[in-house]
Amino acid sequence: MKKGGAGMADKMNSYAILASLSPQEILDFQIRNGMLNLDDVREQIVDKERKKILQMHPYAISHGKDGRWRTWVPDKNAKDGRKKIAKSTKEKVEEAVVCYYLENDEELKRKRMTLRDLYSEWLEYKKLHSSETTIPRVESDWKKYYENDPDSVPIIGKRVRDLTKIELDEWIHKLIRKYDMTKVMYYNVSLIIRQMLDYAEELEVVEENLFRKVKIDSKRMFRKVHKKKDSTQVYTKDEQIMIFKEAWNDFTNSTRLVYRLAPLAVMFQFQTGLRLGELCAVKFEDVENGVLNVVRMLQRDSDKVVEHTKSHEDRAVLLTDAALELIEVARAYQEEHGCKGEYIFSTTDEALSYAETNILLRKYCKKLDILYRSSHKSRKTYISSLIDAGININTIRSYAGHADERTTYFNYCFDRAPDTEKKMLLEKALETPLPS
């Protein structure tokens, strides 16, 4: 029984040693030694690697008076930093030593590391260098496009150092076609493999990141993105007026206690363009001399307030008279009803619920029989309104919290005017008397 157990350990060690070698290393060994029989190659490689491990072992293997063989291996949990190994034969001690290093030596473990093994380690590294909003998206993309995709399973199960450029190329092109990816979608999905292999290169698991050599023809491969219709992205001037009336009536006539100030928040977002998480977490102390300092947000996934914005950059938004009036109405309500919270649109010590604004907006749209657009579209309405008014684009970009005005123009610029107003403006712009 013991003999069989030892034989099994020997076999497992052989597999582990071979697994730590790339096919190219095995082929190079075969060529150097003039060997043609693959079984002989494997046997000699295992023997050579085992000898390397034993030569690296810092403790002597000795034969005791009791007939048993002994040595020590490093153990950071032991008092003297090492633990004893004792066996009936020298061969068994050597096998135990080899087994120990294969299981515990970081360099040997990394040689056998697959992409699936690497992912959790890389993700912890990624968390140190990314915003909280990025990680949930990365985890979601990993599950969908890597862990649960049949074409990706062989890739993530393969040793990192065995991946080739051609198989990475074929794999990512299959994914692009399968999911009909846009350029942005591809960037988010490929970020994982690209940064994981960068990380593997830093760890010296691979010599270079082969994925960076993969070329994608963006003009032919990616699905073209057409800008969405104005009517689905912003509220018209007339719709905004109707929503304000409905929200004000809701505030003055509601019998709710917890979310009594939420209707004011719906109006306030149209006046400030705050992101929903920022709107929920805005405090009275953030308002100073007619300016709102946007410095925190409520996180959607964790439901926690953090002292930074999505971009991790604070910004100042000049407030309209209407926005300042909404703040004073909220303040007066809190004082009248003995609320001592610091959040402007909450009657408790907690920030306004993330969902409440959208719930009310949907309710108002349904009652008014107009198309519902989420609170993010209220933000788009604010930004489009400033563009329509001819305000300098850098000022608008700053108020919106965008790093680049191209983001402001491409993703947030929509026409709010109804067709009747467009017709009037068109006639004025192209007014030319016809010849009589």
Tell me: the pLDDT tens digits for 166-199?
Answer: 999 999 999 999 999 999 999 999 999 999 999 9
Residue 389, pLDDT > 70, answer yes
What's the alpha-carbon Rg for the chain, to the nearest Å?
Answer: 33
For range 144-154, the mean pLDDT = 95
Residues 372 and 293 in one domain: yes
Measured CA to CA, the distance from residue 308 to residue 297 in angstroms comes to 6
3-state SS assignment for residue 204: coil
Per-residue burial over 164-198, b if 16 or more Cβ lie within 10 Å, else e, is: eeeebbebbeebbeeeebeeebbebbbebbbbbbb
Residue 363 lies in a domain: yes
Please give the DSSP secondary-structure letter assigned to residue 159: B
Domain that holds residue 46: 2-106
Each residue's pLDDT tens digit, 302-335: 889 999 998 888 999 999 999 999 999 999 999 9
Residue 254, pLDDT > 90, answer no
For range 103-112, the mean pLDDT = 68
pLDDT confidence tier of residue 45, bands split at 50, 70 and 90 = low
Using the structure block, give the residue that is written with the tokens 């890389």: 122
pLDDT at 1: 39
- Chain Cα centroid distance, residue 70: 50
pLDDT at 381: 96
Tell me how crowded residue 270 is: count the other CB atoms within 10 A of its CB: 22
Residue with the larger pLDDT of the pair 146 and 82: 146
Pick from 30-34, 63-67, 137-141, 159-163 the range whose average pLDDT is largest.
137-141
pLDDT at 93: 86
Last residue of a domain, one of 192, 221, 250: 221
pLDDT at 227: 84
Q: Give me the half-sphere count of Cα atoms (radius 13 Å) on the Cβ side of residue 372.
A: 12
Number of separate domains in the chain? 3
pLDDT confidence tier of residue 418, bands split at 50, 70 and 90 = confident
Residue type for position 358 = N
For range 63-91, the mean pLDDT = 87
Measured CA to CA, the distance from residue 320 to residue 277 in angstroms comes to 21
- Chain Cα centroid distance, residue 166: 27
Residue with the larger pLDDT of the pair 58 and 287: 287
Using the structure block, give the residue that is written with the tokens 């209707």: 263
Last residue of a domain, one of 65, 80, 106: 106
E strand segments, 241-352: 287-288, 291-294, 297-298, 305-306, 315-318
Residue 76 lies in a domain: yes
Residue 432 lies in a domain: no
pLDDT at 410: 87
pLDDT at 347: 92
Tell me how crowded residue 122 is: count the other CB atoms within 10 A of its CB: 20
For range 127-156, the mean pLDDT = 91
Residue 431 lies in a domain: no
Residues 56 and 93 in one domain: yes
Q: What is the DSSP string of 335-351?
A: HHTT---SBTT-SSSSP
Residue with the larger pLDDT of the pair 370 and 420: 370
Contact 368, 258 (CB under 8 A): no
Last residue of a domain, one of 106, 138, 161: 106
Measured CA to CA, the distance from residue 13 to residue 50 in angstroms comes to 9
Mean pLDDT taken over the chain = 87
Residue with the larger pLDDT of the pair 428 and 269: 269
Residues 78 and 122 in one domain: no
Residues 212 and 358 in one domain: no
Residues 68 and 138 in one domain: no
pLDDT at 3: 46
pTM (two decimals) = 0.64
Each residue's pLDDT tens digit, 358-379: 999 999 999 999 999 999 999 9
Per-residue burial over 363-386, b if 16 or more Cβ lie within 10 Å, else e, is: bbbeeeeeeebebebbbbbbbbbb
Residue 430 lies in a domain: no
Residues 187 and 238 in one domain: no
Measured CA to CA, the distance from residue 332 to residue 349 in angstroms comes to 17
Residues 84 and 159 in one domain: no
CATH of the domain at 127: 1.10.150
Q: Provide the greatest CA pair distance for the chain.
A: 125
pLDDT at 91: 87
